[in-house]
Amino acid sequence: MRHRLGYRKLNRTSEHRKALFKNMLNSLIKYEQIITTLPKAKELKPQIDKVITIGKTSNLSNKKRLFSKLQNKLSVDKVFNELSGRYSKRNGGYCRVLKAGFRTGDDAPMAVIELVDRNPEAKKVDVPKKVDEKNAEKAKTPPAVESKETTKKKSKK
């Protein structure tokens, strides 16, 4: 029987599991919504709740605690500046896990984990902005390629 064995090990070593959840925490803080498997999402939910709860009290020791857990300055800043203000009136329950069907390759149960009252613009953080037409044309044209003859002439000189 599996009574009181703690948490899901997810068929990973402890170092791999720690790195996996650190990366997932950083992604969830950055994009405010990620898609993953259901067991990973269920394990991530208490961790993100603890991170946001730590961020609600802004002092140096809490910043150091979060940085040691996340190891990303941008994520720590977002927790202390944005998320702590957004959830100042809320006593827990900062994220939700929504079931999202099954993955086609291996039929694994998928889930969407997102922050409650999330900013929909956060999903577009890494999407490059559109460039005006002149710069777009310059970016599309490949650089001039020298022929073998010109390189031979240069090497002889």
Q: Burial code of 5-33, b = ≥16 C-beta within 10 A, e = fewer?
A: eeeeeeeeeeeebeebbbebbbbbbbbbb
Higher pLDDT, 138 or 83: 83
Whether residue 98 has pLDDT greater than 90: yes
Which three-class secondary structure state does DSSP give residue 107?
Answer: coil
CB 34 within 8 A of CB 28: yes
CA atoms of 81 and 6, how far apart (whole Å): 33
Whether residue 157 has pLDDT greater than 60: no
- Give the pLDDT of residue 5: 87
Domains of the chain: 14-122 (3.90.1030.10)
Residue with tokens 């730590």: 54
Q: Which has the minimum average pLDDT: 11-20, 72-81, 132-141?
A: 132-141
Taking residues 29-57, report their average pLDDT. 96
Query: Of 122, 120, 52, 51, which Cα lies nearest the Cα of 84?
Result: 52
Backbone angles phi, psi at 36, to 5 degrees: -150, -175
Q: What is the pLDDT of residues 13-36, one digit of tens each?
A: 999 999 999 999 999 999 999 999
* Stated pTM of the model: 0.79
pLDDT band at 128 (very low <50, low <70, confident <90, very high): confident
CB 103 within 8 A of CB 40: no
CA atoms of 105 and 85, how far apart (whole Å): 40
- Give the pLDDT of residue 154: 61
